[in-house]
Amino acid sequence: MSRRGVTVWFTGLSGAGKTTLSQGVAQQLRAWGLPVEVLDGDVVRQYLSKGLGYSKVDRDENVRRIGFVAKLLTRQGVIVLVSAISPYRQTRQEVRQQIGNFIEVFVDAPLAVCESRDVKGLYRKARAGLIQNFTGIDDPYEPPENPEVICKTAEQSIAESVQQVMQCLQDKGYL
């Protein structure tokens, strides 16, 4: 019997912990010998979405491209871990519908915490007006209304958040 693939979509503000959390889940899944691919928003932008800006239209197109790749991999029985801000609810819902086997993980951290973790200095640049349309500053982030998992990364450890995601995968029959 072939295994069911699934896309686990980590969404949240820049600095919320999406990449760190997806890497922790990937490490555990690989240790169990499961097929895993990680689609990180920053990496995808560098290769698949090069040339797209940060307007709503471009952000939506970026999310759709990530969703298309995730759908192809999911159909092949892969556990796909997507870590992308993906700020707009409607576009996340669109990719959820296209992929089917989909778990949304809201990586929830307050804006002040995300700004304090800002290793790239992006929030500082956005506050100074050097970056326009920055999610959470001068462009909205629409939190999921009914995510399967909420990881409050300012209140819990990465290990606790990883365990939450793993438990959801198990509860939904993907492990």
So which residues are the catalytic ones? 86
**CA separation, residue 99 to residues 6, 93, 155 (Å):** 8, 10, 31
The DSSP line for 87-98 is: --HHHHHHHHHH
Query: Residue 7 gets which letter from DSSP?
Result: E
Q: Are 9 and 86 in contact (CB under 8 A)?
A: yes
- Residue 87 and residue 135 in contact, taking contact as beta carbons nearer than 8 Å: yes
d(CA 61, CA 48): 11
Structure tokens at 51: 């040339």
